[in-house]
Amino acid sequence: MPNRIIKALYIDDDAALGRLVQRILGRRGYQVDHVTTAEAGLVRLADGDIDVVILDHDLGTTSGLTVLEGLRAREQAPPVVYVTASTELSIAVQALKAGAVDYVVKAIGDDFEVLLVAALEQAVERARLMRAKEEAELEVRQAKDRAEMLLAEVNHRVANSLALVGSLVRMQAGAVKEPGAKAALAETQARITAIANLHRSLYTSTDVQQVDLAAYLDTLVGELGNSITASGRTPIVKLDAEPVSIKTDRAVSVGMIATELVTNALKYAYPVGEGEVRVSVSRTPSNQIMLSVADDGVGWTGDGTAKGSGLGAKIIAAMSKSLGSTLEYRSQPIGTLASITFDEKLG
């Protein structure tokens, strides 16, 4: 017997059998409403609060299949147990295909009662489990949406905070007279911008676990160029990047490496005058990702003592290690070409 009153709707044009089913199920804790036509059944179902439907196949001028067809278009329709006096299997198959969850053959005696009650209990329990599953899935989706919204808000605030820090560093650089200190602050500001741009990419993206590397580097390279231009120089920084998505933490490393290499090229490749710096991202034949920065300047092969404080080289080495790679300098007729090659997911 059900633990609570189950409301059932019995649709059958046989009034006597309807009263019998009401008595049978009433003893087992069911509340049964009986209607004799398909139209009346659909009207009663529209009122709601029905847990399960007992639907007779032969409704005089129509069949129970018509009711099943009408229920198919309704959201959260109650489960239907199909009953028929015919033993033809084809009727049961049609009913099940049309949406019934079970069927029972009408018979005189206790067998019909036992089979009907068993079918009803299974239908109600199945519907309960389906509702519980849908509710759980809805809660998971809502929790995921809330988490993504909060994470986007965090990235938004971090990006804004880093942008503010970068602005303060830039203002400090403008107030400093000593060229070395001014350059050091400018490099610091560029590093802060690289991380801020990543967080900005994350809060505007629908996927916080992956970063569009081409879009990220495009913003990064543009701001690096603008930063150098603000200092009175007019560099040319070009980006050629294939569509590549990588994990967020790996994008941080790639962005920092790109920032250091571009900054070094702009500082040291062209001691006199201006020149071009080219940043590229591509896939190798072995499906790895290659980041390269090239210039047409004085040239550097990685041998000997590097110019500057060496902090940039340490940052590049640390970030390359996190990617499972090392920086390589490739020989070319003119200028410098530095690159790293790494796996998309490993490292």
Q: Backbone phi, then psi, for 241, in 5-degree steps?
A: -130, 130
Q: Give SS3 for 99.
A: coil
What is the structure's pLDDT at 10? 93
Q: How far is CA 227 from the centre of its chain?
A: 34
Residue length of the chain: 347
Q: How far is CA 339 from the centre of its chain?
A: 32
Q: Backbone phi, then psi, for 326, in 5-degree steps?
A: -135, 155
Region of 325 (left: φ > 0; alpha: ψ -120 to 50; beta: rest) is: beta
pLDDT in single tens digits along all 347 residues of the chain:
445 688 999 999 988 888 988 998 998 889 999 999 999 998 898 888 899 999 999 888 888 998 898 888 777 789 999 998 887 888 889 889 988 999 898 876 678 888 888 999 898 888 888 888 988 999 999 888 887 788 778 878 887 888 888 888 888 888 888 887 877 887 788 778 777 877 777 666 666 678 888 888 888 888 777 666 555 566 788 999 998 888 888 888 898 899 889 888 887 877 766 788 999 999 999 889 999 999 988 877 666 555 555 777 888 899 999 899 989 988 778 888 999 999 876 54
Helix, strand, coil percentages (3-state) for the chain, rounded to 5, are 55, 20, 30
- pTM for the complete prediction? 0.55
Question: In this structure, are strands 245-247 and 210-212 parallel, antiparallel, or unpaired?
Answer: antiparallel
Tokens 């403008």, residue located = 174
